[in-house]
Each structure stands twice: as structure tokens, then as C-alpha cells.
Structure 1
Amino acid sequence: MNDQWIDVCAVGEIEAEDVLRFDHGAQTYAVFRSADNEFFATAGLCTHEKIHLADGLVMDHVIECPKHNGRFDYRTGKALGAPVCVNLKTYPVRVDAGRVQLAVTAEG
């Protein structure tokens, strides 16, 4: 299956160590910018209770869910402890001509 690259935003629209919510079709994504200006993307909803991760706190390479403080490594999607135990799906991200782009497959 081929990836489809979707335009998310300009590079400057996401601050370092921050997250942006991005909705495309029926899916919600969380797009992150690390302190060293790398970009990452995960599913946008916490695997515990489906809360939007973009409302959470980003520190180092971790996103903390705003509801029950579940934490994930946004680079890998790895759940880092209770109450979250299911990893987040991750997606490829690239920067092209100053635009952040997210790769999604046909099923999202």
C-alpha cells in the first residue's frame, strides 16, 4: 500500500517541544516538534480513553494525556506506564519546502 502525503502546516506553526492537532477525514493525528526540530506524528487520541493528546503536555520526547496523565514516547508511540498500556500508532512525517507533511495509508 502506498502512503499519501498530506499537508499539515507550515514548519513555524508548531513550536519546539509542542504538539498540534490535525484532523484529516475521520482521523485525528497529533503532530509533534521536538526540541531539536524533528517532527513526529501519532494517532491523535489517547489509547486509554480517547482524549485528544494535543491538549496534553509535551516534555522531552513524551506526551502526557490531559485526562489521566498517561504518557507516551511520541517518537515510537510506546506507552510508558499505567493507565496507558496500548501503544499509539505512529506515522511518517517529512518537511518539504517549509511545510510539514504526514503520510497516511488508504485506511488512515
Structure 2
Amino acid sequence: MSTTAWVDVLSADDLPTDDVLGVVVAGRDIALYTVGDAVYATDNICTHGQARLCDGFLDGHEIECPLHQGKFDVRDGRPTCAPVTAALRSYPVKVDGQRVYLQID
């Protein structure tokens, strides 16, 4: 049986503005993205080349992998540009007061 819980990750003040930040949550390497007022989270490792996406380039809702320039939509993890074909796992995010939480199972 799988259970999910909201995990307190960091202060909202620690989020970058329109950029990506790598964090480790419950033993998982996670990328947090801020786009405008929204916060998104995906696995931080590219499904194609094993590069850390937090080292990539965020352009709107797309993160570009620093290794082979494949792209993913940070809202749902789906690939948007070759050479990536497999989606990233994405995680629900909520900001409550000044704290950022991820839902991790």
C-alpha cells in the first residue's frame, strides 16, 4: 500500500525567481522551478543523458538539459524536444505561508 505525504522542503524565500533549483527530498534528487508565481517540481535527472536539470536553462515552462539540449515541460515532465523521449516524474507542489511542500510517496 502506497501512502503520500506533504514534505516540507524549504522556505519560499529560498526559491529563485524564474529559475531552477536542485534539492534532495526524501532521498530523491528533485528540481524545483519557479515560473511567474507558480512552482513546479520534477525529478532532477534527465531521462536521456543522466545530467542534472538544475544545471540546465529554464525558458518559460521548458527546462533544457545541459548535456544534449533535450527539453521537458516543467508542469508535467513531458518531453518537448529531441533527443529526450521519456517523461520526467513530476510532483505536486504547494506553497503554504512561507513554506514549500512536495507530495512524495
TM-score (structure 1 length as normaliser): 0.90
The within-5 A match list for 1:1-108 is 1-35=2-36, 37-105=37-105
Closer, same or farther: CA 15–25 of 1 in aligned 2, 3 Å: closer
> What RMSD in Å do the two structures reach over aligned CA positions?
1.1
Secondary structure of the 2:3 match is coil
Ranges of 4+ aligned residues in structure 1 off by more than 2 Å: none
2:30 aligned partner, one-letter code: Y
Q: From the two aligned structures, give the one with the greater strand fraction.
A: 2
How many residue pairs align between the two structures?
104
CA distance in 1, matches of 2:57, 2:104: 25
Structure 1 position 81, deviation (Å): 2.0
Structure 1 residues 9-54: Cα deviation after superposition (integer angstroms, max 9, x where no partner): 111211221111111243111111112x111100110000111111
Secondary structure of the 2:102 match is strand
CA distance in 1, matches of 2:78, 2:68: 17
Give 5+ residue unaligned stretches, structure 1. Answer: none
- Percent identity over the alignment is 37
